[in-house]
Amino acid sequence: MKALFVFDLPSRRIAVPLLCAAFALSTSVHSASSQALRVVSLHGNPGGSLHASLRSEPRTLNPVLAADIASRTVTAALNADLLHINRATDQVEPALASSFQVSRNGESYTLRLRQDVHFSDGSPFTADDVVFSFNVYLDPRFNAPQRDLLLIDGQPIRVTRIGPYSVRFDLPHPYAAAARLFDGLAILPRHLLEPQLHSRTLADLWTLATPPAQIAGLGPYRLKSYTPGQSLILERNPYYWKQDAAGHSLPYIDQIDFSFVSNQDAESLRFAAGQLDLLARLTADSWASLKALSTAQPIRELDGGPGLEFDLLLFNLNAAVAARPPQAALTQQWFQMQPFRQALSLAVHRDAIVHLVYQDRAVALATPVTPASRLWANPALHPAMPDIPQALHLLSGAGFALRGNALYDRQGNRVHFTILASSSNRAQSGIASLLAHDFAALGIDAQVVPLEFRSFLQRITQSHDFDTAVMALSAGDTDPNGNMSLWLSNGNLHLWNQGEAQPATAWEAEIDRLMNQQLSVTNLQQRRALYDRVQSIYADELPFLSLVSPHMLAAARASLAGPTPTPLDPGMLDNLATFYWQR
């Protein structure tokens, strides 16, 4: 199990206390190059099948209810969205909608839908399906996880059918990056689901027991069969609406076989033995052994560069922790000092973490905004280089003194604290060991405490009984809105000081203000300036140390063209329709 939080699940969900400032906004029109369905400039070879794996069995085939990774991976292949974020450029592009138009005040989105598109059972796709789908997502009775995503300031987005191929979405307030909300929201077939919803609940629809003929979607694949405990097989959707440059219908590959392999080592062995064509998630150290094992067929490593996930050292800045012993109050007093946190940052060899823990497949970080958010990382901030003299200078300025090999505070207490790490996570335990080693250079006695994951989590989020902790977080989106719950002082991932009724410090209040302001600004440059400021404040205050961001690694047969790891769901399988086997 990986100690990994996603800021908001499902991804791109946004916790929104919105400011109601109304800005006059320019109208913008985004459209595909032409109305034609010929959307992919690619020449691949049709045919063949692909063997992939899932870590667990999917819990449902219903895209509205899919919350676990396996269900989301499968439903992503079965369904399509109106607008889609291009994973390569991080821009919103038309998908089932052929174009979209934003009103002058930024509150209304008009989408023109593609005509002559069919569901995988052959029935046509119209605006009625879109209105039906959004009603399902927004109906409080169905409790869809995506509902929160479509609430802005507590009010739902309104959906109106304008014509058979045109829909309008009205937002209660202008909302930056509203177009990104559509990504991943599957459009459901009204003709199949609406009659059943009168008599049954949503949770009963499209379970794993549903016959494949009763399930239809707009995605590149449709369900062929499901064998409990063994496999789930998808077949090519003959009605899929995308074509390649030569006019061939996508997808290229006829069949996708998902087998269920619960263990990473077992997955690697099956991949090496040729039973799997694709390994969706790979750790840095397993690549070399994979290569040594797969002697039969050539494989290639897919390095997608840094993703949205990053490792951090969290300081316990929680105001009052009743359950803690007196020594802990002392420790927390040190962490409250900004120069102390800055000095710790200057002691960390981030390059050593990159090299030793991730075998050079990671990047050092200055802020939690990883390079995957390419538009948003503040270019003026750089990861701190280790500088022990400067760190000691900062410490002596704050009243600490180095005597012999030991650091003492103003009252003469020896500086020591514990670093929690999840014992099941090798990378994080390794980082904790390296950090303890680095802090020893400042005369600090840091002790690594490995804990079982649930107790680890309980201490960080519930009892707040810890000094520092190494953990991983992952933003929900490349857009700043995917980081709201981390930045806002009342956010549920504001882990260094949870549950603040009021911002505890002036700089946290300032971050709250800037983050809320950027929500409603739709001008990119203005938003960037606001977010740059948030990152500068963070880099100065360092409520936690952003350490490194590991690369997104995957492996595939050398002859399989198409897969590229991407930070957003469903990762590498996002462009599954364009995968093909090279001859």
Closest CB to other proteins among 323 and 501?
323
Contact between 444 and other proteins (CB under 8 A)?
no
- Rounded distance, CA 583 to CA 259, Å? 25
Closest CB to other proteins among 426 and 533?
426
Contact between 231 and other proteins (CB under 8 A)?
no
Task: Tell me which of 131, 352, 401, 406 binds other proteins, using CB under 8 A.
Answer: 352
Task: Tell me which of 355, 382, 393, 403 binds other proteins, using CB under 8 A.
Answer: 355
Contact between 168 and other proteins (CB under 8 A)?
no
Q: For residue 37, give the 3-state DSSP assignment.
A: coil
Task: Tell me which of 447, 461, 523, 582 binds other proteins, using CB under 8 A.
Answer: 447
Give the nearest distance from C-beta 324 to other proteins in angstroms: 10
27: number of Cβ within 10 Å? 10
Give the nearest distance from C-beta 417 to other proteins in angstroms: 8
Contact between 373 and other proteins (CB under 8 A)?
no
Task: Tell me which of 82, 451, 539, 556 binds other proteins, using CB under 8 A.
Answer: 451
Give the nearest distance from C-beta 384 to other proteins in angstroms: 18
| 80, 125 Cβ separation under 8 angstroms | no
Contact between 333 and other proteins (CB under 8 A)?
no
| 216, 119 Cβ separation under 8 angstroms | yes
Restricting to residues 377-406, which ones interact with other proteins according to CB under 8 A? 405
Helix (H) or strand (E) holding 391: helix 388-397
What is the DSSP annotation of 47-83?
--EEEEEESS--S-S-TTT--SHHHHHHHHHH---SE
CB neighbour list of residue 18: distance below 8 Å, 6 or more residues apart = 152, 153, 173, 175, 516, 519, 520
Task: Tell me which of 359, 490, 492, 536 binds other proteins, using CB under 8 A.
Answer: 359
Closest CB to other proteins among 291 and 533?
291
Give the nearest distance from C-beta 318 to other proteins in angstroms: 15
Closest CB to other proteins among 288 and 319?
288
Contact between 19 and other proteins (CB under 8 A)?
no
Closest CB to other proteins among 275 and 423?
423
Contact between 407 and other proteins (CB under 8 A)?
no
Closest CB to other proteins among 267 and 477?
267
Task: Tell me which of 285, 301, 303, 387 binds other proteins, using CB under 8 A.
Answer: 285
Any bridge partners for residue 5, and if so which? Answer: 473
Phi, psi angle pair for 317, to nearest 5°: -105, 10
Give the nearest distance from C-beta 524 to other proteins in angstroms: 38
Closest CB to other proteins among 449 and 561?
449
- Rounded distance, CA 568 to CA 75, Å? 15
Contact between 274 and other proteins (CB under 8 A)?
no
Report strand pairing: 401-403 vs 560-561. Answer: unpaired
Q: Which amino acid is at 267?
A: E
Contact between 426 and other proteins (CB under 8 A)?
yes
Contact between 270 and other proteins (CB under 8 A)?
no
Helix (H) or strand (E) holding 217: none
Region of 43-51, 369-377, 425-433, 554-562 interacting with other proteins (CB under 8 A):
425-433
- Rounded distance, CA 528 to CA 518, Å? 8
What is the DSSP annotation of 426-472?
HHHHHHHHHHHHHHHTTT-EEEEEEE-HHHHHHIIIII---SEEEEE
Tokens found for residue 368? 């939690």
User: Closest Cα to residue 130, out of 174, 175, 169?
Assistant: 169
Q: Which stretches does DSSP call E strand in 62-165?
A: 83-86, 91-94, 97-102, 108-113, 151-152, 155-156, 158-163
The footprint of other proteins (CB under 8 A) covers: 264-265, 268-269, 285-286, 288-289, 292-293, 325, 327, 349, 352, 355-357, 359-360, 405, 416-418, 420, 423-424, 426, 430, 432-434, 436-437, 441, 447-452, 454-455, 465-467
